[in-house]
Amino acid sequence: MSQQARSDPVPADKHATAKPPSASASTLVRPMGIGDANTLGFVHGGTVMRCVDEAAGLAGTRHAGRRVVTAGMDRMNFLHKVFVGELLTCSASVNAVWTTSMEVGVRVEAENPMTGERRHTSTAYLTMVAIDSSGEPVGSPPLIIESEIEQRRQQEAGLRRKNRLGERDEIISARGTG
């Protein structure tokens, strides 16, 4: 399926209207409680990853105007601990749209709600794929680039896509299963 779909890409939905990233940008804010903590007492990495995935899914769904699935998440670094009692904010924005997939960037911040102090704790890039009712990949609306920042994000997303698909193809070919 994969090779065939890539050489015969699903055309973008002809009814789809192009949208800027601002039309689908999504922010999730979650108060961190005891149930979000690991055995060391601060917030579990999986809790952060879930919030990242949900925020990316929301931005992807808003952009595509249909269901999306997560095809992959690039490596994710945890720059600072997040503590119970803080607010976890995941801000997601569509960086680039290709045939059926798009890259969504998510910035994670932790906020002390009493002082308002905020820390950037992670950044992640996810590939979301729009799907039809049978779960098959389907085209998404094009992205309208409106600012220099959006242009830079789109260019950098293109580099990341080249690397992640190149790595995937190299591994498949090294295994002789391509």
Ligand X SMILES: CC(C)(COP(=O)(O)OP(=O)(O)OC[C@H]1O[C@@H](n2cnc3c(N)ncnc32)[C@H](O)[C@@H]1OP(=O)(O)O)[C@@H](O)C(=O)NCCC(=O)NCCS
In the complex, which residues of this chain contact ligand X (CB under 6 A)?
1-2, 5-6, 9, 69-72, 98-101, 127, 129, 131, 135, 137, 164-165, 168
| Structural Rg of the chain based on CA atoms | 18
Cβ-closest position to ligand X: 5
Pick 32 or 138: Cβ nearer ligand X: 138
Pick 86 or 103: Cβ nearer ligand X: 103
Shortest Å distance, C-beta 108 to ligand X: 19
Pick 55 or 129: Cβ nearer ligand X: 129
Q: How far is CA 4 from the centre of its chain?
A: 25
Shortest Å distance, C-beta 74 to ligand X: 9
CA dihedral 63, 66, 67, 71 (to 10 degrees): -50
User: Is 140 strand, coil or helix?
Assistant: coil
CA distance 60 to 66: 9
